[in-house]
Structure 1
Amino acid sequence: SVHSSFYAISTTNKPLSQSSHRIALIIIYTVVLVTGTVGLVIMIRVLKTNLRSWTTIAFLNLLLAHVIFLLTVPFRIHYYVTNHWSLSTLTCKIVSAMIHLHMYVVFVIYVAILVTRFVQYYKKTDRMEFYRRLHALAASVGIWSILIIVGPIILSKYGTKKPEENKCFNFGQQAIEGSVFGFNIFLSVVIILVSCILGVIVGIILYSLIKKHGAACRNQQEFWAQMRNINLIIIIFICLVPYHLFRFYYLTHTQDMEESNEVFLSITTLTCTDMLLIFTKMGIFQVCGF
């Protein structure tokens, strides 16, 4: 069932006890919290232009996804430092579920941004806009209303087995059972395939621009617009794809690879640093305008 599938997305059965894994997780989540917060401050300052732009609306939704997840990061850091969960089981479920919701929401938003830019390129338009700001707001509400509706359902089924006392993030026992196993494989295959397709499209566009303009392509605005797309593709392949590649192996070796899986999962949260990478490279502070 869908409920069981979402339940199985959280993939650690036992609390992490190996110091090397705990140290790695503490470092990763601390970096995510600090750089993610700085990036959000930059993003808020930048996103003050056309609120009907598809790109701007997408980045605003990305900002919201990061904010919601970053609120849960201090709980993770505290748990891995102390190896002790002192809050309720419900809080544990919420914190554990948010890393997965964040990962998939961010991926969907990345895809939306890239597809929008591809359409702009092929249609030769400078900007794609909603006709009214109300339409843009409705589109965003539509995206998040799905989570508002599905979220409580997920939490009601998420981690049906009571975790060990003072431990958290151990809701993944069913990840290899029946249809749940297939659902996890399906999600990973989709993300890897879509990522590769997006990468190929960016490569084709860059090749066509270089072929058309030669050495002068660096003077073309279209070229630098596609380089911004390269930034997103790099983030996807560094932060998201490795986890889903590793997941194929993990799902057949769950008993031996639980700690490693948690580290791979934490790498997906490095997407919270995307604002620093996007807005500080090549002077890209005009992202809302194209």
Structure 2
Amino acid sequence: MEVINASVLVNVSNTDLGQCDMYCRVILIILYSVVLLGGTTGMVLMSCMMSKRSSQSVIATFVLNIIALHSILLVSLPFRVSYYFSATWSLGSFACRLVSSIIYSHMYFTFVFYVAIVILRLLIYFKKLQVQQLKKHYAVALSIIIWTVGGLIFLTVFFLQYGTDPSHSKQQRCFEFYRDLKRKEIIVINYSMIVTMMITVVILFLLQLVVIFQLIKALWPDMWAHQEFRAQIKSFFFVLVIVVCFIPHHVFRVHFIQNYSERENSKLVLYNEICVALTTVCCLDMLCFVGGVVH
């Protein structure tokens, strides 16, 4: 830490309250490095495990999508670590916007596939859908639709809305697109995503708890021996990942939007960057499955 403090992290003036300071950057370097190491390990082990099983299920197809999303994010993390280590971005504004968009697109794409898995298992539990009706090509078609629609949305939002201010390209800094929150359309987009995620998570969380308690009551004390119970526990794990990794960012985002200002924002910037970084921790989900953390 002393080497970073003495030689590299001093590049940015502490008087610039709009930028993530030294303390902020040290936290982010550690957090992103842990995610990069743990996430890569989890991706490799889970990919090997799934290749051996050659599963044709719909759930497996969605999990493969999540693995692909995690892999894309993990490729972008070294750029973030390098930037926070040197405090200088030299790859241009387009590359900055691309790397920045990856972390947000990863969060929302992963959220969609998590929700798809949870809803699918809930429909099966409530007898609204039969396992025999589920075909892999349905999951592939749905995945293509999600990637296409989501890609168009993020292309529009991140490349036509965020980071378009000329001041972004004149500085050797990156990931400071929160400055665009002064624009009304950006505020509307943010609030829309916050409300959508909050409502979805609350509904799924409550439904999942009801299902798990019903199964415990019906199967006690041998519930772990039943595949249906284990499947619902895995679904609940995905909901918990959303709550732990994604919700803090969205809750704080409301406070950030309401209180951010150009003059006094150093603490808010710190907390906002940490909440954004926290969303990447979901990449450790596959490591939890492989390591047996999730039964």
TM-score scaled to structure 1, two decimals? 0.85
Task: Name the counterpart of 2:281.
Answer: 270
C-alpha spacing 1:43/1:216, structure 2 compared with 1 (3 Å)? closer
Match of 1:43 among 42, 46, 55: 46
Task: Name the counterpart of 1:218.
Answer: 224
Match of 1:68 among 65, 72, 77: 72
Secondary structure at 1:86 match in 2: coil
Task: Name the counterpart of 2:27.
Answer: 24
State the distance in 2 between where 1:245 and 1:157 align.
22
State the distance in 1 between where 2:150 and 2:229 align.
36
1:88 aligns with 2:92: yes
C-alpha spacing 1:140/1:201, structure 2 compared with 1 (3 Å)? same
Q: Which amino acid aligns with 1:15?
A: Q
Q: Which amino acid aligns with 1:240?
A: F
CA-based RMSD of the aligned residues comes to 2.3
State the distance in 2 between where 1:200 and 1:47 align.
30
Flag as ranges the 4+ runs of structure 1 deviating above 6 A: none
Task: Name the counterpart of 1:207.
Answer: 213
Show CA shifts across 1:86-117 (max 9, x none). Answer: 11111011011111111111101100011111
State the distance in 1 between where 2:179 and 2:44 align.
38
Q: CA deviation at 1:137?
A: 3.3
Match of 1:234 among 237, 240, 243: 240
Q: CA deviation at 1:214?
A: 2.8
Task: Name the counterpart of 1:123.
Answer: 127
Q: Which amino acid aligns with 2:125?
A: Y
Deviates more, 1:76-85 or 1:252-261: 252-261
1:98 aligns with 2:102: yes
Task: Name the counterpart of 1:288.
Answer: none
TM-score scaled to structure 2, two decimals? 0.83
Match of 1:33 among 28, 31, 36: 36
Tell me if structure 1 keeps the 8 A contact 2:237–2:294.
no
Tell me if structure 1 keeps the 8 A contact 2:201–2:243.
yes
Task: Name the counterpart of 1:258.
Answer: 269
Task: Name the counterpart of 1:5.
Answer: none
Deviates more, 1:206-215 or 1:111-120: 206-215
Q: Which amino acid aligns with 2:270?
A: E
C-alpha spacing 1:210/1:169, structure 2 compared with 1 (3 Å)? same
Q: Which amino acid aligns with 1:217?
A: M
Q: CA deviation at 1:181?
A: 1.6
C-alpha spacing 1:138/1:213, structure 2 compared with 1 (3 Å)? closer
State the distance in 2 between where 1:266 and 1:282 align.
22
Show CA shifts across 1:213-258 (max 9, x none). Answer: 2323233222222221222122111101111111111111113212
C-alpha spacing 1:122/1:279, structure 2 compared with 1 (3 Å)? farther
Task: Name the counterpart of 2:13.
Answer: none
C-alpha spacing 1:103/1:222, structure 2 compared with 1 (3 Å)? same
Alignment coverage as a number of residue pairs: 270
Task: Give unpaired runs (5+ residues) of structure 2.
Answer: 1-16
Match of 1:182 among 182, 188, 210: 188
Tell me if structure 2 keeps the 8 A contact 1:240–1:268.
yes
Deviates more, 1:108-117 or 1:48-57: 48-57
C-alpha spacing 1:245/1:21, structure 2 compared with 1 (3 Å)? same
Task: Name the counterpart of 1:6.
Answer: none
State the distance in 1 between where 2:294 and 2:74 align.
26
Deviates more, 1:57-66 or 1:41-50: 41-50
Deviates more, 1:69-78 or 1:158-167: 158-167
Higher relative contact order structure (alpha carbons within 8 Å, sequence separation ≥ 6):
1
Tell me if structure 2 keeps the 8 A contact 1:239–1:269.
yes
- Correspondence list, 1:124-163, <5 A: 127=131, 130-131=134-135, 134-153=137-156, 154-162=158-166, 163=168
Task: Name the counterpart of 2:202.
Answer: 196
Q: Which amino acid aligns with 1:41?
A: V
Q: CA deviation at 1:14?
A: 3.8
State the distance in 2 between where 1:283 and 1:172 align.
36
State the distance in 2 between where 1:235 and 1:216 align.
26
Q: Which amino acid aligns with 2:183?
A: E
Tell me if structure 2 keeps the 8 A contact 1:26–1:77.
yes
Q: Which amino acid aligns with 1:138?
A: A
State the distance in 1 between where 2:162 and 2:132 align.
39
Q: Percent of counterpart pairs with the same letter?
A: 30
